[in-house]
Amino acid sequence: MNESTQLELLRNIFPKFRGKYAQFPTTSAANGNPFYVYNRPFGRVDALVAHCMVRHFQPRSIVEVGSGFSSLILGRAAEKKQNVGPHLHRSISARLCSQGIYRVANVD
pLDDT above 70: residue 59: yes
Query: Does 72 fall in a domain?
Result: yes
Backbone φ, ψ for residue 99 (5° rounding): -110, 120
Q: Strand 95-99 and strand 88-91: pairing? A: unpaired
pLDDT at 108: 33
What DSSP character marks residue 23?
T
What is the number of domains present in the chain? 1
pLDDT digits (tens, 9 = 90+) for 65-83: 777 888 888 888 887 655 5
**Exposure pattern of 59-79 as b/e (b: 16+ CB <10 Å)?**
beebebeeebbbbbbbbbbbe
Range of the domain at 35: 3-99
Q: Is residue 9 included in any domain, yes or no?
A: yes
Is residue 19 in some structural domain? yes
Classify residue 91: in a domain, yes or no.
Answer: yes
Query: 13 pLDDT band (50/70/90 cuts)?
Result: very high
Evaluate whether residue 61 is within a structural domain: yes
Which residues fall within 8 angstroms of residue 59, CB to CB, at 6 or more apart?
A: 78, 94
Q: Is residue 7 part of a domain?
A: yes
58 falls within a domain: yes
pLDDT digits (tens, 9 = 90+) for 29-50: 656 667 888 888 888 889 999 9
The pLDDT > 70 percentage for the chain reads 69
Residue 106 lies in a domain: no
